[in-house]
Amino acid sequence: MKNKYSQIILIFSLVMFLGTFIFSGCQKSGKDKETVKNGNGITRVLVEAVKNEPITRTIKLSGKAEGLVDIDVMADISGRIVSLSKQLGDYVKAGQEIGRIESAQYEFSFKQSEAQLIAAEASHRSKEMQLATDSLLFKQESISEHGLLNSFNQYQLSLASWKGAQAQLEQSRRMLERAVLKSPATGYIAYLPIQVGENIQANSVVYTIVDDSQIIVRTGIGQNYINMVEPNDLVQITCNANNLQVKGIVKRVGRSAKIGNSLYPIEIEFKNPGQMKSGMIINLELEKATLESLIAVKFSVIEQRYDKRFVYLVEDNKATLREVKLGDMVGDFVIITEGLEPNDLVIVDSAGKLSEGQPVTYAPAEKE
């Protein structure tokens, strides 16, 4: 019985010894892993040296492509389309005929105006001769001053009628000419909604002429950026519809904000690579450096604690928390207005969670 009791005690002692050994081994293994991760308790970090330099701002805009010539032509007169000599997509030169509106009524009006002009001119010549005669008679004291004044008034009225008839004839001529639809500029017929036999109304769009060899984009820019943009600035242009990427330039910059949206108008031009069409949505990207030197860091390194902002620096091989004041955002970066000086080492990445005064070993971060 005594030997059996001694065996139980021996087995229990062996179990306790093995458990302690295994537990110690696990603890040692965990410590070894922690040592490997942190370098004997020192956290590895990547840093970037702060620089005071001009900041490149990327200004992103969008707008609609237009041809350098993009004209909606409206009918000046009403009537029925009697002929079309050009079709949608055709190339036309300035002054070339596209179609005709029925013109019989305008021809009649023109001839009537011609007749009225002839009558008015004849009446004027008669009154002119009468005035010359009455002027001579007045010098001979054969008629009174009142008679001469009446003759002069008749002459003036006839002159006014003659001038009015001339203006009426010119108006009739223009109305007759407008029965012929002519291209106001050289380009392509981009829109032609009319057909032969169709009645059209004055002031309705009958066709559109586009010259898209050169594209212009009219858009707007906010007051924070308008003073950064100047004529001849380069612009990166993309069009998702065609996966196009081309370069353009700022052609013109407005000096007054558009009514209603507080945007300043700018115009950007570029040579059409061939696949761009008027009306396509264009993405624009300008890169402009600030005139003054500034300090900026990635927004991702900023830590917020209540209403204050901080960054971690490396000082004396330790992580140091420093309060900073933030300015404008510039892409993924934020301008620091207070708290950092040139050559400060800002921690941008770390192997573990940082705390004030924690020992670190650092290396420069690779530039993107």
The torsion defined by the Cα of 334, 336, 341 and 347, in degrees rounded to 10, comes to -40
Average pLDDT for residues 327-342, to the nearest whole number?
Answer: 87
Overall pTM > 0.75: no
Between 190 and 27, the more confident residue is 190
Residues 6+ apart with CB under 8 A from 16: none
Where are the domains positioned within the chain? Answer: 43-54+293-364, 76-99+184-203, 103-178, 210-291
Average pLDDT for residues 134-138, to the nearest whole number?
Answer: 90
Least confident residue range of 27-36, 230-239, 248-257, 345-354: 27-36
Mean of the per-residue pLDDT values for the chain? 86
Average pLDDT for residues 45-53, to the nearest whole number?
Answer: 91
Q: Assign domain 103-178 one CATH number from 1.10.3720.10, 3.30.70.260, 3.40.50.20, 1.10.287.470.
A: 1.10.287.470
pLDDT for 71: 92
Instruction: Please provide the CATH number assigned to the domain covering 210-291.
Output: 2.40.30.170
Whole-angstrom distance, CA of residue 150 vs CA of residue 3: 164
pLDDT for 54: 84
pLDDT for 136: 92
Average pLDDT for residues 52-61, to the nearest whole number?
Answer: 86
Helix (H, G, I), strand (E, B) or coil at 42: coil
Q: What are phi and psi of 344, to 5 degrees?
A: -60, 140
pLDDT for 317: 93
The confidence band for 270, taking pLDDT boundaries of 50, 70 and 90, is very high
Identify whether the C-beta of residue 198 lies closer than 8 Å to the C-beta of residue 78.
Answer: no
Q: Above 70 in pLDDT, residue 177?
A: yes
Whole-angstrom distance, CA of residue 28 vs CA of residue 25: 5
Q: Above 90 in pLDDT, residue 291?
A: no
Whole-angstrom distance, CA of residue 329 vs CA of residue 14: 67
Q: DSSP for 277-289?
A: -TT-EEEEEEEEE
pLDDT for 310: 94
Whole-angstrom distance, CA of residue 176 vs CA of residue 172: 6
Q: Above 60 in pLDDT, residue 17?
A: no
Whole-angstrom distance, CA of residue 89 vs CA of residue 69: 15
Q: Assign domain 43-54+293-364 one CATH number from 2.40.420.20, 1.10.2020.10, 3.40.50.10860, 3.20.20.105.
A: 2.40.420.20
Which two three-digit tokens encode residue 350? 């770390």
